[in-house]
Amino acid sequence: MSNAKTIGKSVKALLVLTSIVLSLFLASCGGGGSLSAEDLKTYRDLSWEGTELTVKLGTNKSTGCEWKNEFGDDSIIDYSINRKFTLSDKAALRSQAAGVLSAGFEGKKEGTTTITFTTPCDWDGNAPGYTYVVTVQVAADGTIVSATGK
């Protein structure tokens, strides 16, 4: 076998391996790719570690179903640098701007407060919007003690 054919096969193998590793990495980052469009409509997830709280919500920018939030007391919890919007793979294939908003917050001081999330309309853009209220308890050092949503 010639060197050119050997190099060509090696490059193809490297590209396939790179593609697999990248896919696994993106899946582990919570890119929302495993959620269907139907799941995204009701997707709500809370997680926290240390002083960081992350709220993930299904959102559909193409219809105006985008989340805004308001703090009960922004001296207890405020924005963190962890805020992003990620399209789900299935939505991206259909050219929709639907996916997951990952909003980050940081505990500041001891207390309990709320973060109220609202959308101006429903998922399809035809009915009244959604409300999701997260109640957060923060310790004196800013550590998130608990977070519940409803």
Give the C-alpha separation, 30 to 99, whole Å.
Answer: 11
Kindly report the number of other CB atoms within 10 A of residue 82's CB atom: 14
Round to whole Å and give the CA distance between 70 and 107: 15
Closest CA to 73 of 42, 108, 41, 24: 108
Kindly give the confidence (pLDDT) of every residue in the chain, 150 residues in length, as a single tens digit, with 9 standing for 90 and above: 566 666 555 545 443 343 333 333 333 344 444 677 788 899 999 999 999 999 999 998 889 999 999 999 999 999 998 767 666 656 554 656 788 888 999 999 999 999 999 999 999 999 999 999 999 999 999 999 999 999
